[in-house]
Amino acid sequence: MTSLFLETISSSKLKSIAQPILDICEAVIPVLLAVVTAIGAIYCILLGVRYAKADDQQEHDKAKKALKNAIIGFVLIFVLLVMLYFGTDVFENWYESQVNG
């Protein structure tokens, strides 16, 4: 399947098709990283305040679990965005080597 795809689309055609998409990704991903970091920090602070204000044990456990899940979620989103940002160059180089070599 891959070799058929590689034979059908030449390298120059891929560049003309994929370059605008890659340019948009390179422009948007740093902004997304900043937004996700800011929202994650604010949300974790709010959950931390909720955790500190919890009166009974059930509220305390619920707030602790929500804070832990939020931290894990934001770390995963951040890591995936960083991988996407650096992975586009790796994928583009790999594709060039497949087409040309």
- pLDDT of res. 65: 94
Separation between Cα atoms, residue 89 and residue 11, nearest integer Å: 15
Q: What is the pLDDT of residues 4-59, one digit of tens each?
A: 555 555 666 767 777 788 788 888 888 988 898 899 899 999 999 999 998 899 99
- pLDDT of res. 37: 87
- pLDDT of res. 1: 47
Separation between Cα atoms, residue 22 and residue 33, nearest integer Å: 16
- pLDDT of res. 24: 86
pTM over 0.85: no
- pLDDT of res. 93: 78
Residues 70, 40 contacting (CB under 8 angstroms):
yes
Q: What is the pLDDT of residues 56-91, one digit of tens each?
A: 999 999 999 999 999 999 889 888 888 888 887 787
